[in-house]
Amino acid sequence: MVDCYIKRTMRLIKTIKQMRQWAERRRRGKTIGFVPTMGALHEGHRSLMRAARRRCDAVVVSIFVNPAQFGPNEDYARYPRDLKGDAALCRREKVDVLFMPTAETVYPEGHDTKILVGRIGEVLEGAVRPGHFSGVATVVAKLFQIVRPQIAFFGQKDYQQTVVIKRLVRDLNFPVKIVVCPTVREKDGLAMSSRNRYLSSEERNASRVLFKALQKGRERIQEGERDSAAVRDAMTLLIQEQPPARIEYAAIVHPDTLMEVTQIEGPVVLLLAVWIGKTRLIDNLLVKP
């Protein structure tokens, strides 16, 4: 029975059929809140579960390391997996259902449909990780169909992902409200991420530079700098001073369209993707001048 129940209170479901049956029964008059994740859960995920708990009658968390959103040379095989720790954390957060389908369940033999994301999925992350957002959108659409939540919770940590998902929901008419929760950070500012566990202690030190650079960018804007090239230079200079850090992109974009901004006149998002040794980290900050 370990497969079906963990300490009576939380259901562990692995099949689509069971997940659908649960949602069908539970949905009548009740709000289902959904938190999709790839596991190796941390405080960032936990904040989404808490937001869901506050707003919904029932909370479903999924853990699925989605092969479709990883490129051929990315870390799919070594992505951290910690079922026991994750289940315990979900139980502590009073999650009702932990949905953990296998890759074969989600993508059975012959699966041949993908969601194509337009320009907003082709810039920034999409430019360096081709097909990434198609993989994300496809799996999120599938999960929405299976779990049938009224509200789904995503982290601002993956800013572009929130824009892509909001657009997906709008364009394909999903009856799901998307709630974006603030980025949870370590005390020194590093955004929490499952990938932080790849960092050596020296790299962990160096990784603080991402948030420092974002803060520097914000500071420059708040001091009155309106030329986004100057703001970007201030951020990149700081990162370049940190030897194991290598910038993949540093961008200043419009929060909804993700179009590059040259003159800062309204709210912008500062976005960074930086390699620290062999680990790729992303972070962002929404700034209102």
Give the whole-angstrom CA distance, residue 39 versus residue 45: 9
Q: How far is CA 53 from CA 33, 38, 94, 138, in A?
A: 8, 19, 8, 26
* Residue 133 makes contact with ligand AMP by CB under 6 A: no
Between residues 1 and 77, which has the closer beta carbon with respect to ligand AMP?
A: 77
Dist CA 105 CA 168 (whole Å):
23
> Does the protein bind ligand AMP through residue 193 (CB under 6 A)?
yes
Query: Does 37 interact with ligand AMP (rule: CB under 6 A)?
Result: yes
Taking Cα atoms as reference points, which of 138, 200, 193 lies closest to residue 164? 138
Site mask for ligand AMP (CB under 6 A), range 149-168, x = bound: -----xx-xx----------
Interface residue with ligand AMP among 60, 141, 181, 252 (CB under 6 A) is 181
Q: Taking CB under 6 A as the rule, which mask of x and - marks residues 243-282 in contact with ligand AMP?
A: ----------------------------------------
| Strand order from edge to edge, sheet including 5-6 | 5-6, 10-13, 97-99, 58-63, 32-37, 151-155, 177-181
Q: At what angle do helices 16-26 and 132-147 cross, to 10 degrees?
A: 50
When binding is defined by CB under 6 A, the residue of 138, 160, 183, 207 that contacts ligand AMP is: 183
Catalytic residue among 45, 111, 132, 254: 45
Task: Identify whether 45 is a catalytic site residue.
Answer: yes
Contact indicator for 191, 157 with CB cutoff of 8 Å: yes
- The answer to whether the CB of 12 falls within 8 A of the CB of 4 is yes
Other CB atoms within 10 Å distance of the CB of residue 70: 18
β-sheet bridge partners, residue 13 = 99
Nearer to ligand AMP, 117 or 192 (CB): 192
Nearer to ligand AMP by C-beta: 44 or 101? Answer: 44
Q: Which of 194, 207, 236, 242 binds ligand AMP (CB under 6 A)?
A: 194
Pick between residue 194 and residue 236 the one whose CB is nearest to ligand AMP: 194
Interface with ligand AMP includes 48 (CB under 6 A)?
yes
Which segment (37-45, 143-151, 225-233, 273-281) binds ligand AMP by CB under 6 A? Answer: 37-45
Which residue, among 99, 110, 108, 103, has the nearest Cα to 148 in the 3D structure?
Answer: 99
184 binds ligand AMP (CB under 6 A): yes
Least distance from C-beta 131 to ligand AMP, angstroms?
Answer: 16
Decide if residue 47 touches ligand AMP (CB under 6 A).
Answer: yes
Query: Which burial class, exposed, middle or buried, applies to 266 when counting CB atoms under 10 A from its CB (0-12, 13-18, 19+)?
Result: exposed
Asked whether position 44 contacts ligand AMP by CB under 6 A, the answer is: yes
Q: Smallest gap, in angstroms, from Cβ of residue 7 to ligand AMP?
A: 23
Q: Which of 38, 95, 146, 235 binds ligand AMP (CB under 6 A)?
A: 38
Give the largest Cα separation in the chain, rounded: 62
Q: Is 242 in the site for ligand AMP (CB under 6 A)?
A: no
183 φ, ψ (degrees, to nearest 5): -70, 130
Give the residue numbers marked as catalytic: 45
Query: Which residues of this chain interact with ligand AMP, rule CB under 6 A?
Result: 37-38, 44-45, 47-48, 154-155, 157-158, 181, 183-184, 191-194
